[in-house]
Amino acid sequence: MIDVEGKTAAQLGALIDAGKLDSVELTQHYLDAIGASEYGAEIYVRTTPERALSEAASARDRAKSGTRKSRLDGVPVSWKDLFDTAGIETEAGSHLLAGRIPEKDCEVLRRATDAGCICLGKTHMSELAFSGLGVNPRTATPPNRYDPARAPGGSSSGAAASVSYDLAPIGIGSDTGGSVRLPSGWNGLVGLKTTLGVVPTDGVVPLCRGFDTVGPLARSVEDAALMHEILSGNSVDIGDVPDLSDCRFLICETTFLDGCEPLQLEAFETAVAKLEKAGAKISRGPMQEVDEVLELVKYLFTFEAYREWGAEIEAHPDAVFEPVKMRFMGGKSVTQDEYLVAQEKMMEVRARYDARASDFDAVLAPTTANGPPVTQKLLADIDYFWDANLLALRNTRIGNLLGLCGLTLPTTTDTAGLMLLGKPNSDERLLQIGLACEGIVAA
């Protein structure tokens, strides 16, 4: 078999289409690599070899007969362990769901399977998806690509590690407050946060139903776009790439840049300078709406999360890592009236933000204000864990609160991503802009 290390999902699909790569051999390569990796068990909860090889054999037959279903037909994919998989444990990184076996695939897995994608297995994650650090002492903590001793970012930690450690060409995660973009940023990947409702969440273990979204973690924007087509059912014209001289970006100098670690800020400003040199028109200014919407966090995320899982956690208080449990319990005191008032305020702020940002193609920001902390320090100090988690999620969750789509791109600085926040339901346009930007900011 030809060397596939580091190749994108799109490149692998093209090799399959050209008859130069066998999907069964490719799938076995990844299964073998997972088994041989010193981090395999820390990245994957379990692999699904029987299913994967069966799907790969069908993909090989389609390739030979010229009936491939998509450009990613025959390409293996990893799945965060909150996507229901028929007959296979889906436990969302928590002992609370130990032994949970769904009867059918979730909708996005069904769509991916129909498009010919190969289900490699399920990846580790933060408990019930309620931590941005990716540290999970109850199951496993995947390694960070640049330093295994540091946090991988979460909650789609294993999804990011599966791609960055070359144990999958592409991974599927979820993003409620940053859980696709944050681990992508810390591991040098492209991560797409889709607009709420564009990709179905049927059969996905919920955290906050008003904010849960599904998206890919990938090596390229092209890969993210191809997978977005499959998961959403909406076409993405990746040939329609804008000229950067036609793009207008806004840098919000309110909150996004506050308290950023020097490395993150320097990487951001370097990427911005490259875009500006390439012809992009960039404006800067404060956005009051960002501060206003962040003030609603304690009433919205925690309320929904506690109502979803609070009773189960209270019944088994020792089953959940203390800092994660504290986040859930933070929603217990929030009343229904406070939640509804906050929701109303959120919608009002969203309308003002949309008007303010309407003249721009995207808002630019550092994906995270901080880099990945040392895992052992997080485990040894709950207060440090809490503070690091809140700071890590600050920039990304703004997009969730404002109902935006978001994309993080790798920069030339390890663990520092550039985030583009697009208008609601402009996922295709955001991906097209990302295609125009990725080579420039990574050069």
Report the catalytic residues.
Answer: 80, 155, 179
Q: Are 166 and 43 in contact (CB under 8 A)?
A: no
DSSP for 310-371 reads HHHHHHSGGGS-HHHHHHHHTTTT--HHHHHHHHHHHHHHHHHHHHHHTT-SEEEEES-SS-
Pairwise CA distance, residues 56 & 377, whole Å: 42
Q: Would strands 417-422 and 171-175 be described as parallel, antiparallel, or unpaired? A: unpaired
The answer to whether 109 and 84 have CB atoms below 8 angstroms apart is yes
Compute the distance between CA of residue 68 and CA of residue 18 in angstroms, rounded to an integer. 11
What number of other Cβ atoms are within 10 A of residue 36's Cβ? 9
End-to-end CA distance of the chain: 30
**Number of alpha carbons in the 13 Å side-chain half-sphere of residue 276:** 12
As a whole number of angstroms, the distance between CA 208 and CA 212 comes to: 6
